[in-house]
Amino acid sequence: MPAEPFAPRHVFVEEEVADLPLTKRVLSRLPGVRPVVLAEGEGPPQLMEVEAHNALVLARQRGRFVKRCPGTRGYLCCGYLNLNVAMGCDMACEYCILQGYLSRPMITLFVNTDDLWRELDELLQQTRRVVRIGSGELADSLVCDHLTDLNGELVRYFADQKQALLELKTKSDRIESLLGIDHGRRTVLSWSLNSEAMRTAHEARTAPLMRRLEAARLAQGAGYRLGFHFDPLIWYEGWQQDYQDVVDQLFSLVRPENIVWISLGALRYPAQMDRLIRTRYPRSALPLGELVPGEDGKWRYFRPLREEMFRWLYQRIKRYAPQVAVYLCMESDQVWRRSFGWSPKDSAGLARLLDQRVLMP
Amino acid sequence: MDFQEQIDRRLAKVSLAEIDLHDPYYQISYGAVPSTLIDSLRTAGVINPPTLQRKQDGRWRIVAGFRRCAFCQEQGAKKITAWCVENVAPELSLFIWAVCDNLGVRQLNTVECAIVLAKLHGQFRIPKGDLARRYMPLLGLGSSTELVERYLRLAALEEPMREWLAEEWLSQEAAFQLVEMAPDEARALFAVIAALRLGKNYQRELIRLAYDVARREALSIRELVASPELRAAMQEQELSPAHKAERVLGWLRERRFPRLALARRRYAELVRQLSLPANIRLSPPPYFEGAEWYCQLQFASQEELRQMAERLQKIAQCAELQQLLLLP
């Protein structure tokens, strides 16, 4: 994690959201920054990349805040809902697909929260199905929390929901503001985990593993349910010992009964990301892995490598936590069977498996 | 002041002996002289006079028209009609003049574009941002500073890679990659490209594979290129350059993707054990990703299809097929 929380040096505000309460709150917390108002239809200016990483755009979410995870062709998807309250990240992980998805590297925060609450009301009142929803898809869930306090509001909103679970996913350790909130155990605080060697090599601006796990321990103490995502697993010389250390450290601080789910996912990215990683991080070893095109065109480790990693980690996790739901993110039925010895068969089966975890107290 | 007014010039006959043909200050032309230019000079002589600038030592420096002057000298001419610039014209303006003089009659090749940009930046101190905004469009290139950087690096490309690039035998992408490498590594890889006369797609693949394998195995590219297997493939007398290229690239692919290569070898072995007739072909899913295999049948009659169906039924019972489907 950057030593300091995200502190933008440039703030651009769309004119139509300039008077919204969240805009005012964010700006009041950035007293040294003079915001630039963008007229209707005007985008933020092109900034040199290093400056763009220090820029924040306050904008209207013109699409839907809630979107179904698009999944990927040929692989099982859990039917998760993405809550797109922000877009972009300042952690600069080498493998991050946001580099390829987003046309500009600045963080965009969607401040029209009236629309957000209305959408959530509609979603939760109209549907009878279980809802698993999280804001960690297009941004780290906590990246702007010190500017917005939005997560606190979301946690309180979900506290009364019986059929829904909010997941806040992060690679940071800044959860203090969430600890005293009445969450009703309807929020999962989740951490992406990797070995410390891989964090140092490829996620240099994220919180060290032990700080993430310490934060998880604090969250557990505050009664939150927890999630962990070993994603992306990276194949390298000595991965077994390093990932064993992560598992050992995890279960030395966290009790299995507080874990809602643990996902495993191996390094994968769209084909065009290969060039991007090589250009931005010429010394990165990530593209040197034995990655081949998958059924969906994304590059993934050659299947036996993935299966070996999944099988190995599944067994280690299950030794500590036989009851915890461990699942694969975006893998085929075949890989599930070869890695775990069983499979939810299809996306609906996987969704049911995780929905059951939501309904648990 | 108007661009042309900055350059006070007059037409005069100048002795070729007074022209410094080797002063490269304004020179941007690079590569073989186009045959059309030679034909034109042979047919009608110098129609468009070169431009010269008086140097402090009294001799003339060529601003534009290096090839024209050289041609006249080769033909044994004593004098040439030229535009002579006597005043201390702004050198940058004269350089742009030289660039435009060329652009008016032809497209500059990649090396020439790189030379122009390198001179503007190094000799005339034009910042990279200005190069992107003002001069890249003049050269017909995209106005990005990233591209400027790449072209500036290309200007440092060594011979004979430079010549290959100018002649478009070497792709721009390959040249960009080679110029990023340590010179001895670039030379080693280029030697393979040149010896095998690789096309542009193969150039890209060779460089990528060699770079990746070297990094994966902590070797230098020079060491990789010196591997006995690669040398043997390149020196195989019986093979054409195309076949040598296939062998070299195949060997590199196997080193780059060792587990995939192993799975493919195992696949080939099991298929061989199945003894499939030529008109039945089995293929695994691409990269063994996915569960669906393909079976291709070729037949000319109902009877042939019936026989194949019988054969397929037998194959379906084989232990080898079971092993095949469990690959990798």
Give me A288's structure tokens.
């040197």
pLDDT score recorded for residue B40: 85
pLDDT score recorded for residue A103: 65
Secondary structure element (H or E) that encloses residue B293, with its range = none
Q: CB of A333 within 8 Å of any CB in chain B?
A: yes
The Cα-based distances of A357 to A60, A132, A222, B123, B134 in angstroms read: 34, 10, 19, 69, 61
Secondary structure element (H or E) that encloses residue A299, with its range = strand A299-301
ipTM comes to 0.88
Write down the mean pLDDT value for chain B.
92
pLDDT score recorded for residue A101: 67
Query: Is a pLDDT exceeding 80 seen at residue B117?
Result: yes
A303 and B286 in contact by Cβ < 8 A? no
Question: Across residues A37-43, what is the average pLDDT?
Answer: 88
Question: Across residues A217-239, what is the average pLDDT?
Answer: 97
Q: Taking CA atoms, what residue in A is nearest to B257?
A: A290
The answer to whether residues B248 and B210 touch, using CB atoms and an 8 Å cutoff, is no
Question: Across residues B156-177, what is the average pLDDT?
Answer: 94
The residues in B 231-260 lying below 8 A from A, measured between CB atoms, are: 257-260
Q: Are strands A66-68 and A81-83 parallel, antiparallel or unpaired?
A: antiparallel
Q: Taking CA atoms, what residue in A is nearest to B288?
A: A303
Q: Taking CA atoms, what residue in A is nearest to B260?
A: A302
Q: What percent of chain A has pLDDT over 70?
A: 98
Query: Is a pLDDT exceeding 90 seen at residue A110?
Result: yes
Sheet bearing A107-110, strands edge to edge: A36-38, A10-14, A55-59, A107-110, A86-87
Q: CB of B76 within 8 Å of any CB in chain A?
A: no
Query: Is a pLDDT exceeding 60 seen at residue B124?
Result: yes
pLDDT score recorded for residue A149: 95
**Angle formed by the axes of helices A303-320 and A333-340, to 10°?**
50
Residue A247 burial (CB count, 10 A): 21
The tens digit of pLDDT for each residue in A156-178 reads: 999 999 899 999 999 999 999 99
B260 and A294 in contact by Cβ < 8 A? no
The tens digit of pLDDT for each residue in A177-211 reads: 999 999 999 999 999 999 999 999 999 889 999 99
- Contacts with A35 (C-beta within 8 Å, 6 or more apart), sequence order: A11, A12, A13, A27, A58
A304 and B291 in contact by Cβ < 8 A? no
Strands (E) in B16-59, as ranges, are 19-20, 51-54
A294 and B289 in contact by Cβ < 8 A? yes
Q: How confident is the model at residue A129 (pLDDT cuts 50, 70, 90)?
A: confident
pLDDT score recorded for residue B251: 96
Residue A256 C-alpha from the chain's centroid: 21
The tens digit of pLDDT for each residue in B32-59 reads: 888 888 888 888 888 889 999 998 888 9
pLDDT score recorded for residue B156: 92
pLDDT score recorded for residue B36: 84
DSSP class per residue in B122-169:
HTS---HHHIIIIIHHHTT----HHHHHHHHHHTTPPTTHHHHHHTTS
Q: How confident is the model at residue B2 (pLDDT cuts 50, 70, 90)?
A: low
A277 CB neighbours in chain B (<8 A) are none
Q: CB of A298 within 8 Å of any CB in chain B?
A: no
pLDDT score recorded for residue A70: 85
Torsion angle of C-alpha atoms A50, A51, A57, A62, degrees rounded to 10: -50
Distance CA A277, CA A141 (A): 23
B287 and A334 in contact by Cβ < 8 A? no
Shortest Cα–Cα distance, B258 to chain A (Å): 8
**Partner-chain residue, chosen from B215, B257, B286, that has the shortest CB–CB distance to A290:** B257
The answer to whether residues B122 and B32 touch, using CB atoms and an 8 Å cutoff, is no
pLDDT score recorded for residue A3: 52
A288 CB neighbours in chain B (<8 A) are 212, 215-216
pLDDT score recorded for residue A1: 46
Q: How confident is the model at residue A271 (pLDDT cuts 50, 70, 90)?
A: very high
Give me A101's structure tokens.
């998805």
The residues in A 180-239 lying below 8 A from B, measured between CB atoms, are: none
Give me A276's structure tokens.
């991007």
**Angle formed by the axes of helices A303-320 and A239-253, to 10°?**
30
The tens digit of pLDDT for each residue in A59-92 reads: 999 999 999 998 888 889 999 999 999 999 888 8
The tens digit of pLDDT for each residue in B192-212 reads: 999 999 999 999 999 999 999
The tens digit of pLDDT for each residue in A298-353 reads: 999 999 999 999 999 999 999 999 999 999 999 999 999 999 999 999 999 999 99
Question: Across residues B153-167, what is the average pLDDT?
Answer: 94
Q: Taking CA atoms, what residue in B is nearest to A287?
A: B212
pLDDT score recorded for residue A102: 64
Sheet bearing A164-170, strands edge to edge: A66-68, A81-83, A131-134, A164-170, A187-193, A225-233, A259-266, A325-328
**Partner-chain residue, chosen from A294, A305, A334, that has the shortest CB–CB distance to B259:** A305
Question: Across residues A232-236, what is the average pLDDT?
Answer: 97
The tens digit of pLDDT for each residue in B48-89 reads: 899 999 988 889 999 999 999 999 988 888 999 999 987 677
Q: Taking CA atoms, what residue in A is nearest to B181?
A: A282
